[in-house]
Amino acid sequence: MSGKKKNEAIKDSLNQMSSNEDIKKIRFHKKWKQYFLEFFMLFLAITLGFFAENYREHLSDISKEKEYIHSLIADLKTDQKLLTEHILDIETKSKMMDSLITILNTPSLIPNNSGQLYYFARLGPRLTPLTNNSRTFEQLKNSGNFRLIRNLNTSNKIMTYYKKYSLISLLEKISQDEFNDFKFTASRILDPAILINMEGENGEIIETSKNPDLLNQNPDLLQQLAVFSVYLNGSKTAIINTCQEIKMSGEDLIEYLKNEYKIE
């Protein structure tokens, strides 16, 4: 083979190699674009899935929040009824205590009003503990779902309302201590046989139509019982005032929640 032909062969060979390299570069470039596109599409799918899942959870949380608020409003309405009944009961017994104090402070009234004295002394000091419906509040608190209440002001209003009941418990404890003192002195004045005869078949207390004698009409003991009656009545007044305040707070909270969550 002549030198010229050899050179042409070498040149062709070099051109072929260059062409192959260009093809490889094009293929590599195409593959790199394809890889990038596939990666981008995968990343986009994962990101969209993440946001979609978060959005579903957000919608679910909003739905749960509103369910809790509906349940909470129902509880608050129950509280309104319980508070109204409790206030009326204490007011009735407070009037009994006023009458009892009047009789004890005026010994001349006792002979013709001892039946009422027995009746008022038996019923007037009693205090039924206040119950409230905190079912939804306890669920929110114990399950950690207070986080569902997005508005901090709303959470604070709910917490403030239920904290008020702790004052009622304190006043009830004071009243019970005063009642114990009352019963100790009353046991020295009132005849237990008369007290037993006042009990009806179902445990209700029935006012006697007679005016039975007292065990003891010592003026000092009567005054002591009158003083304990004043203490008891003061506690009842404090409980009534606190219940009325809680009732008003409950009414305000119901209206606030209805407006905040667009509930009819």
- Identity of the amino acid at 208: T
User: Do 49 and 233 form a contact (C-beta atoms < 8 A)?
Assistant: no
How many residues are there in the chain?
Answer: 264
- Predicted structure pTM score: 0.78
Walking along the chain (264 residues) 10 residues at a time, the average pLDDT comes out as: 49 49 50 58 59 51 82 96 97 97 95 96 95 93 86 93 96 96 96 93 89 94 97 97 97 96 88
Which positions ≥6 away from 156 have C-beta within 8 Å?
Answer: none
Which pLDDT value is given to residue 28?
A: 47
Which pLDDT value is given to residue 202?
A: 86
Q: How far is CA 173 from CA 151, 161, 192, in A?
A: 35, 20, 26
Which structure tokens are listed for 223?
A: 């005054």
| Rounded-to-integer distance, Cα 55 and Cα 182, Å | 63
Which structure tokens are listed for 131?
A: 């119950």
DSSP 144-195: TGGGG---HHHHHHHHHHHHTHHHHHHHHHHHHHHHHHHHHHHTTTS-HHHH
DSSP 219-232: HHHHHHHHHHHHHH
Which pLDDT value is given to residue 147?
A: 87
Cα–Cα–Cα angle for 57, 62, 63, rounded to 5 degrees? 95
Which structure tokens are listed for 242?
A: 């606190």
Which pLDDT value is given to residue 50?
A: 55
DSSP 58-109: HHHHHHHHHHHHHHHHHHHHHHHHHHHHHHHHHHHHHHHHHHHHHHHH-GGG
User: Do 214 and 114 form a contact (C-beta atoms < 8 A)?
Assistant: yes
Identify which of 94, 189, 89 has the alpha carbon closest to the alpha carbon of residue 131. 89
